[in-house]
Amino acid sequence: MFALRSPCTCPSTASTSSRCSPPLLAWARKRGAARGLTQQAMASAGCPEPEQSQLIGAKAAANSTVPTQGLAHLWPSVSWSRYHIQVLFVDRTDTVRARLAAGLFERCAEWNGYGRALYPWTCGLTVGGPRDIHAISKLTALMRGAADLEILPRYFTRPAEAFELEDLDRYDLVMALDSSILEEMRAMVVSEHSPGPDREYYLQKICLLTTFSHYESDAVLTRRGGFALLPAQLSILLKTGAGGVKASKAVVDIASPDLSSPDGAAQWEATVAALVLSTASLVKYLIDAYPENMPHWDPVD
């Protein structure tokens, strides 16, 4: 699976405008600071400055506006040393959940000014054969729903890809869409690496996506206006759809909707709401993890 190798090259998933731009990152950081509750909380608590090239997950946890002591140990260390972060979303077959997650992640990153620094990709643990007529019908329904969410069609038209252990070297974070996928990937790492630093390094890269759902408060997630974490459409969807924010935060394993069932629309709404919550919170976590004293980098200099 393809991944970035330098700070100024972009994977095929990134939009045509997604070229690394540290000045844009600086603007985005100022925008995030204007939201500002997190930095004020850190200052009042006397938190130390972050390292330049490595920022541990605890710093981002300190930035959160909600109590997170029970989940902070599950959040990974994040390094912005290459001035971008690549996230791999993994579901069972690389057809619905991971692709929806990647599309929503990209949209939220773009909204917050980090579309040129946060890059999503997808794969599945078990990839099937060529699409049959039923799969094509399902794809049409998926693309219609994705279009309503302003997710680009390319997320659903490319061939499925299978997860491989080498992806742990290609990507900064690997997000499992449910607990069984998480355990299977962790088992692959354990069988490949003996106990030691290498095993721990790879294991901490693999996370359950919904562990980030509790990173931000309901007020931040549903805030409206220029400094909102989410576009208005997604914020309203999260607040009013599928039981609201509380119901989405209760989700642990994000289910794949059966669009052919009588309650397919309700399943779709619940899946989308859970993914909006978790991907937006993940984006905020990664933004908070950007070191405030990171040296400026300009590819022209």
Q: Give the other-Cβ count within 10 Å of 202's Cβ.
A: 20
pLDDT tens readout for residues 151-171: 888 888 888 899 999 999 999
Residue 64: the pLDDT is 46
Distance CA 230, CA 212 (A): 15
User: What does the pLDDT read at residue 139?
Assistant: 67
Contact 267, 274 (CB under 8 A): no
Fold of 22-215+280-288: Rossmann fold (3.40.50)
- Amino acid letter, residue 59: K
Q: What is the pLDDT of residue 129?
A: 62
**pLDDT value at residue 164:** 95
Q: Can you tell me the distance from the alpha carbon of 35 to that of 58, in angstroms, rounded to the nearest whole number?
A: 20
pLDDT tens column, 176-189: 999 999 999 999 99
Residue whose C-alpha is closest to residue 232's, from 223, 244, 242, 220:
223
Q: Which two tokens stand for residue 120?
A: 């999503």
pLDDT for the residue 65: 44
Total count of residues recorded for the chain = 301
- Domain assignments of the chain as residue spans, ordered by start: 22-215+280-288
End-to-end CA distance of the chain, in Å? 31
pLDDT at 141: 73
What is the per-residue pLDDT for 136? 55
Burial 156-194 (b: 16+ CB within 10 A, else e): beeebbebeeebbebbbbbbbbbeebbeebeebbeeebe
The pLDDT of residue 298 is: 58
Residues of the chain with pLDDT under 50: 5-68, 132-133, 301
**Which H/E stretch holds residue 164?**
none
Half-sphere exposure (CA, 13 Å, Cβ side) for 204?
14
| pTM for this predicted structure | 0.75
Q: Tell me, what's the pLDDT at 191?
A: 95
